[in-house]
Structure 1
Amino acid sequence: MTGEIQTLEKTPTWAVATVCLVLVTISIIIEHMIYLTGKWLKSNNKKTLFEALEKIKSELMLLGFISLLLTVGKATITDICISKSLADNWLPCSRKDIEEMDARNHGENEANIHRKLMSFVASNITESRRILSAATSGDKCQAQGKVPFLSSDALHELHMFIFSLAVFHVVCSIITLAFGRAKMKEWKAWEIETQTMEYQYTNDPERFRLARDTTFGQRHLSVWSKSTILVWTVGFMRQFVMSVPKVDYMTLRHGFVMAHLSPNSQTSFDFHKYINRSLEDDFKLVVGISPPIWFLAVLFLLFSTNSWKSYLWLPFIPLIIVLLVGTKLQVVITKMGLRIQERGAVVKGTPLVEPTNDLFWFNRPHLLLYLIHFVLFQNAFQLAFFAWSGYEFGAKSCFHKNKADFGIKISMGVFVLILCSYVTLPLYALVTQMGSTMKPTVFNDQVVEALHKWHQKAKRQVKLNHNSTSTTPGSSRPSTPSHSRPNITSNHSAQLVSRFNDTPFEPRSPVGSLHGATSSVANDGTVIDQHKIDVDSMEFSFEQYIELQI
């Protein structure tokens, strides 16, 4: 019976049932934990984080499909044979390292090798058992003077690595968000300070000062700010020392409120809460693994060869990108300060920065989020590869032969994780609000729901007006000018609906102006009568509600 394959026909049912029970129990526990987490997020109005959780669930489903495909296609893949010369190219370990490792492990694995040889001899006795054995593909290819395209063991190891990569990416993303928000909690005290009388007195809007004499000007308007090279150099250094000081937060907050909201929102608008909601909304992208990211993972695997010396340059890619992103964000703040000075040497009240997209690469502030997403994934790839190779092959593997490789991967991975969590992510959350448009997260969930209901009613009314206009005979209309207003109504309503279709909202559109615009439409009998768009006051009159809840 030595070497005989033990199929389910020869396996005790209690063993099969026990394994199934354990697997099903673990799966149910994990599924229930995810359900409870989602329920808690919904009950606490964490809609964006709930959507991020749904993205994680979709990634787990994708892992399930990958696992299924690897299991189903295992026999087909292992039956593919390639030449030995082709198999000797692009090896992760050099041929010399492989031979040394085999010689070192020869004595330790002598008993195991003897068992495999006995199994091989026994499998030759019965042809049917030989076909079912684990060495089938190897024997088949060996008979042709070739080697398997991917062995059964290699498929299993690849399966484990893909699973490890997805888990490490999700875990690193969650850790980064948690640490970043912990850092941003320090800003809450600054936000509360904006509601005090002392802040209003210090930032008297009627006081004139030289731009360079303000606290913001002293930080950003110096001799070095006249040189582009020095601006980038100082921006690089500031990532490590007070990346977001109080003066920058207060100035950017003031610029955002003046650009997008009404001036009387200075004390009522919670900018800190808005930043947190925006960051949670962006987290939906970061926590997922998009097709381009999976393609990059394939490229990383391709270039993880001995000949490319990937351990010398691959771990530094996320470090370079995260430092570049952080420097760019600091430069954006400095350039906004320089534009204040360009408008005039004297400022009235708090220095007013003007949010605009042209300060960012390709006029796209959101591009920085994709770079952060890539950094987190690449960093997770390095950590997952290190943990997986150590678990599968041990510390004596050729993957860990080079001590420099070990030190670089661990140190770079931890450093990038800390830098991205405590510096880059909070800085990104603040500075990217200085784009030309504000995000829909400026409204909380209740206001968004009310806007959505009004939007749907407006669209239905426009459609009804259009249908009623098209079905009314032209000959039955009097030729008086007053009856041409339904067309104006439809056009005006369509413009109003398109305003809400084009999100994020346009700059310099105060929150209070939203109610004012709709009120003018609703109250102006020449444009929209009350019976044409029936919106309850409790559902639409939320100007004061926005002031209190945003």
Structure 2
Amino acid sequence: MAGGSSSGRTLEETPTWAVAVVCFVLVLVSLIIEHIIHLIGKWLKKKHKRALYEALEKIKSELMLLGFLSLLLTVLQGPISGICISQSVGATMHPCSKKQEQTISTNKEEEDISDEHRRKLLSAFSSDSATTTSVRRILAAGGSTDKCAAKGEVSFVSSDGIHQLHIFIFVLAVFHVLYCITTMFLGRLKMRKWKKWEKETKTIEYQFTNDPERFRFARDTSFGRRHLNFWSKQPILIWVVCFFRQFVRSVPKVDYLTLRHGFIMAHLAPQSHTKFDFQKYINRSLEEDFKVVVGISPAIWFAAVMFLLFNTHGWYSYLWLPFIPLIIILLVGTKLQVIITKMGLRIQEKGEVVKGFPVVEPGDDLFWFNNPRLVLYLIHFVLFQNAFQLAFFAWSVYEFGIKSCFHEKTEDVVIRISMG
């Protein structure tokens, strides 16, 4: 009995020390994680990182939501697996082809026959009462799983499927948090070079070069030479040039200094040029945006469900689904470059000659549907979808191996990882 049915033992037949050890380890790990999060929160409060502290609280709430989903799956595992549907309905939209499913079924049957043979050999050395108990348990387990099969139907989602879904939820939570933290780190890393540009604005040389009493042609300024060209007034060429610019240097020095000057002129006193730290302001803005990015809105959850739905054999989702986030982020990058160029055109429309530093004027009308936050939501969607796809890949490899029907072709593996 000990060998054949150890996986089916109840707590009545399990040593109390084993149960206590498992509970102790789970509680200890939970307390350690909670203490680490608490220490991070205290450090953020000490450093006056209000936005990042709120982001941490949002991460905690998202993890709680994912934990609640996992709990619901545990509680409803029996009722869900007990729902029976017709075999014709259950045979639709599978991730594997029928040939692959037959191969998987054959392998499982061979494993079951091998296990049954091993069980019979082991039961020969056990007592009669133990054998009777083991047989009863096996029959009981078989009866619960064959409830739908007895009706000529299949289970809505099997118990094994729900267990695998548990693991996927855990992997998704880990990847989402890691992806957000990585994005935050890369953003800060990119902005480090802006510190040097910010220090340059405090020098006498910079103030002399950008003398407010100095008159220049708009097209002769550094900003004008970069953006005011023959292509900037062509509706198609402007998008083509801006598309390729995002790959070279998304925020060059001249754009940073011009945007800094325009922000100060719009929101602060002119004499604030040498005192205001625009780079620190952008850092704080990144933290505020990070607070939005770490959340998972209902619309994004719906998109994740659609991703699971489209991962069907014959739909070739690996050839188009991973490219949707890539296309969105390239459109966003191009749009931001177009916005900067159009701000430069507005300077020229006011007059060929500018006094001092060219002053850009941002406006909501430059964004899609006059909504600047739409760009942030799109970036948020891309981050979650990338994390979701990488989590799905890691989970499927863990559960089914690198060669499974979720990614049967090498191209699928390469596309998923590279796009993520």
> Which bracket does the TM-score occupy, shorter chain normalised?
over 0.9
Contact 1:400–1:406 (Cα < 8 Å) also in 2: yes
Give the partner amino acid of 2:76.
G
Whole-angstrom CA distance in 2 between matches of 1:278 and 1:190: 18
Q: CA deviation at 1:11?
A: 1.0
- Segment of structure 1 superposing worse, 26-35 or 102-111: 102-111
Give the partner amino acid of 1:386.
F
Identity %: 65
Q: Quote the residue 1:492 is aligned against.
A: none
Match of 1:84 among 71, 83, 87: 87
Q: Quote the residue 2:265 is aligned against.
A: 258
Structure 1 residues 172, 113: CA separation in 2 closer, same or farther (over 3 Å shift)? farther
What are the superposed Cα offsets for residues 293-334 of structure 1, whole Å, 9 maximum, x if unpaired?
111111111111113211111000000000000000000000
Q: CA deviation at 1:63?
A: 1.7
The correspondence of residues 51-62 of structure 1 with structure 2, limited to 5 A, is: 51-62=54-65
Q: Is the aligned partner of 1:244 residue 2:247?
A: no
Q: Is the aligned partner of 1:149 residue 2:156?
A: yes
Root-mean-square deviation (Å): 2.1
Structure 1 residues 117, 175: CA separation in 2 closer, same or farther (over 3 Å shift)? farther
The structure with the largest alpha-carbon Rg is: 1
What are the superposed Cα offsets for residues 265-299 of structure 1, whole Å, 9 maximum, x if unpaired?
11111111011101101111101112221111111
Match of 1:345 among 352, 366, 369: 352
Structure 1 residues 150, 348: CA separation in 2 closer, same or farther (over 3 Å shift)? same
Q: Secondary structure at the match of 2:375?
A: helix
Q: Is the aligned partner of 1:98 residue 2:101?
A: yes
Structure 2 gaps, min length 5: 123-130
Q: CA deviation at 1:139?
A: 1.2
Q: Quote the residue 2:128 is aligned against.
A: none
Structure 1 residues 19, 338: CA separation in 2 closer, same or farther (over 3 Å shift)? same
Whole-angstrom CA distance in 2 between matches of 1:289 and 1:353: 34
Q: Quote the residue 1:229 is aligned against.
A: 236
Q: Quote the residue 1:26 is aligned against.
A: 29
What are the superposed Cα offsets for residues 208-262 of structure 1, whole Å, 9 maximum, x if unpaired?
1111111100000011112011111111000111211100000010001001111
What are the superposed Cα offsets for residues 458-502 of structure 1, whole Å, 9 maximum, x if unpaired?
xxxxxxxxxxxxxxxxxxxxxxxxxxxxxxxxxxxxxxxxxxxxx
Q: Quote the residue 2:211 is aligned against.
A: 204
Q: CA deviation at 1:396?
A: 2.6
Q: Quote the residue 1:402 is aligned against.
A: 409
Contact 2:258–2:358 (Cα < 8 Å) also in 1: yes
TM-score (norm 2): 0.93
Contact 2:70–2:169 (Cα < 8 Å) also in 1: no
Q: Quote the residue 2:127 is aligned against.
A: none
Q: Quote the residue 1:529 is aligned against.
A: none
Q: CA deviation at 1:170?
A: 1.4
Q: CA deviation at 1:166?
A: 2.1
Q: Secondary structure at the match of 1:296?
A: helix
Q: Quote the residue 1:43 is aligned against.
A: 46
Whole-angstrom CA distance in 2 between matches of 1:247 and 1:178: 24
What are the superposed Cα offsets for residues 109-152 of structure 1, whole Å, 9 maximum, x if unpaired?
75246568999x978953x8744x2x444211111011111111
Give the partner amino acid of 1:209.
R
Whole-angstrom CA distance in 1 between matches of 2:419 and 2:166: 26
Q: Secondary structure at the match of 1:185?
A: helix
Structure 1 residues 81, 118: CA separation in 2 closer, same or farther (over 3 Å shift)? farther
Q: Quote the residue 2:187 is aligned against.
A: 180
Structure 1 gaps, min length 5: 414-550
Give the partner amino acid of 2:254.
V
Q: Is the aligned partner of 1:220 residue 2:227?
A: yes
Q: Secondary structure at the match of 2:354?
A: strand
Contact 1:311–1:405 (Cα < 8 Å) also in 2: yes
Whole-angstrom CA distance in 2 between matches of 1:289 and 1:164: 15
Contact 1:98–1:398 (Cα < 8 Å) also in 2: no
Contact 1:81–1:148 (Cα < 8 Å) also in 2: yes
The correspondence of residues 412-491 of structure 1 with structure 2, limited to 5 A, is: 412-413=419-420
Q: Secondary structure at the match of 1:250?
A: helix
Give the partner amino acid of 2:188.
R
Whole-angstrom CA distance in 1 between matches of 2:228 and 2:381: 33
Q: Is the aligned partner of 1:334 residue 2:337?
A: no
Whole-angstrom CA distance in 2 between matches of 1:289 and 1:162: 13
Give the partner amino acid of 2:100.
D
Q: Quote the residue 2:317 is aligned against.
A: 310
Contact 2:5–2:134 (Cα < 8 Å) also in 1: no
Structure 1 residues 113, 389: CA separation in 2 closer, same or farther (over 3 Å shift)? farther
Give the partner amino acid of 1:70.
L
Q: Quote the residue 2:170 is aligned against.
A: 163
Q: Is the aligned partner of 1:190 residue 2:190?
A: no
Q: Secondary structure at the match of 1:219?
A: helix
Whole-angstrom CA distance in 2 between matches of 1:114 and 1:168: 41
Give the partner amino acid of 2:371.
R
Q: CA deviation at 1:400?
A: 2.7
Give the partner amino acid of 1:23.
L
Q: Quote the residue 1:355 is aligned against.
A: 362
Q: Secondary structure at the match of 1:82?
A: strand
Contact 1:123–1:130 (Cα < 8 Å) also in 2: no
Match of 1:281 among 269, 278, 288: 288
Q: Secondary structure at the match of 1:408?
A: helix
- Segment of structure 1 superposing worse, 331-340 or 353-362: 353-362
Contact 1:55–1:284 (Cα < 8 Å) also in 2: yes
Whole-angstrom CA distance in 2 between matches of 1:137 and 1:294: 32
- Segment of structure 1 superposing worse, 236-245 or 1-10: 1-10
> How many residues are treated as equivalent by the alignment?
409
